[in-house]
């Protein structure tokens, strides 16, 4: 089952303010709240959501959505999501998303990866184009995360190993509450 991953990204951008995150929160807080957002979204879409899931994989998946439970097993890995905090684990995150040695190949994958700049995005996109083995993948690059300036998210939709579309969302701080929110309007 192919999900509309760009629509999911749009919803994430729209709902980001509800996470009540601010620049003073730790990276772990960002990870916990963002994973929880996708966990609950999967439940609302009538999938069974799991965190730190090893079902059908040799490595832990940060988050997964499953469908079709029968005979004591889940049979349809609808989504595999990886959410990384560290720049030096960006390539490892791609390897996890696109690993070939699995019992269950996901129909959809989402990777949330922090990067310092566009140059690194371009390098990772080349790697993704040569390794993406799923029909529907969304890579969300967090440019300048955890800073007060220039924080944005660039989402690239892959259909197999080709970039089909991309979007940019900008992160802003509410001056009154100090909580972060996102939208698609450039600050320029």
C-alpha closest to that of 90 among 116, 114, 67: 114
pLDDT at 78: 94
The DSSP code sequence of 121-144 is HHHHHHHHHHH--SS-EEEEEEES
- Write out the chain's pLDDT in tens, 188 residues: 799 999 999 999 999 999 999 888 888 899 999 999 999 999 999 999 998 876 655 567 899 999 987 887 777 899 999 999 888 899 999 999 998 877 788 999 999 999 999 999 999 999 999 999 899 999 999 997 655 566 899 999 999 889 999 999 999 888 899 999 899 987 76
> Could you give the CA distance from residue 8 to residue 13 in angstroms, rounded to a whole number?
9
pLDDT at 84: 93
Residue whose pair of structure tokens reads 């070939």 in the numeric block? 100
pLDDT at 110: 98
> Could you give the CA distance from residue 1 to residue 29 in angstroms, rounded to a whole number?
31
The answer to whether 139 and 91 are in contact (CB under 8 A) is no
For helices 118-131 and 90-97, the axis angle rounded to 10 degrees is 30
User: Which residues share a beta bridge with 61?
Assistant: 53
pLDDT at 104: 81
pLDDT at 23: 84
User: Which residues share a beta bridge with 169?
Assistant: 153
The answer to whether 187 and 173 are in contact (CB under 8 A) is no
**C-alpha dihedral over 82, 153, 134, 119, to 10 degrees?**
-100
What are the residues whose beta carbons fall under 8 Å from the beta carbon of 180, sequence distance 6 or more? 16, 17, 19, 21, 22, 23, 151, 171, 172, 173, 174
Q: Within the chain, how many helices (H) and strands (E) appear? A: 4, 8
CB under 8 A, 24+ apart: contacts of 125-128: 125/156, 125/163, 127/91, 127/94, 128/94, 128/98, 128/156, 128/158, 128/161
pLDDT at 99: 85
């Amino acid at each position: 089952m192919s999900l509309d991953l760009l629509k999911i990204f749009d919803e994430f951008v729209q709902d980001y303010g509800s996470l009540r995150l601010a620049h003073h929160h730790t990276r772990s807080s960002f990870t916990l709240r963002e994973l929880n957002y996708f966990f609950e979204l999967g439940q609302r879409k009538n999938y069974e959501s799991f965190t730190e899931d090893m079902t059908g994989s040799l490595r832990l998946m940060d988050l997964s959505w499953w469908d079709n439970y029968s005979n004591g097993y889940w049979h349809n890995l609808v989504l595999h999501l990886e959410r990384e905090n560290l720049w030096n684990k960006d390539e490892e995150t791609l390897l996890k998303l696109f690993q070939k040695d699995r019992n269950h190949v996901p129909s959809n994958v989402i990777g949330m990866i922090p990067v310092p700049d566009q140059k690194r995005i371009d390098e990772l996109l080349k790697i993704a184009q040569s390794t993406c083995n799923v029909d529907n993948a969304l890579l969300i690059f967090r440019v300048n995360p955890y800073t007060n300036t220039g924080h944005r998210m660039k989402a690239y939709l892959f259909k197999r190993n080709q970039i089909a579309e991309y979007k940019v969302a900008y992160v802003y701080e509410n001056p009154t509450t100090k909580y972060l929110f996102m939208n698609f309007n450039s600050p320029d």
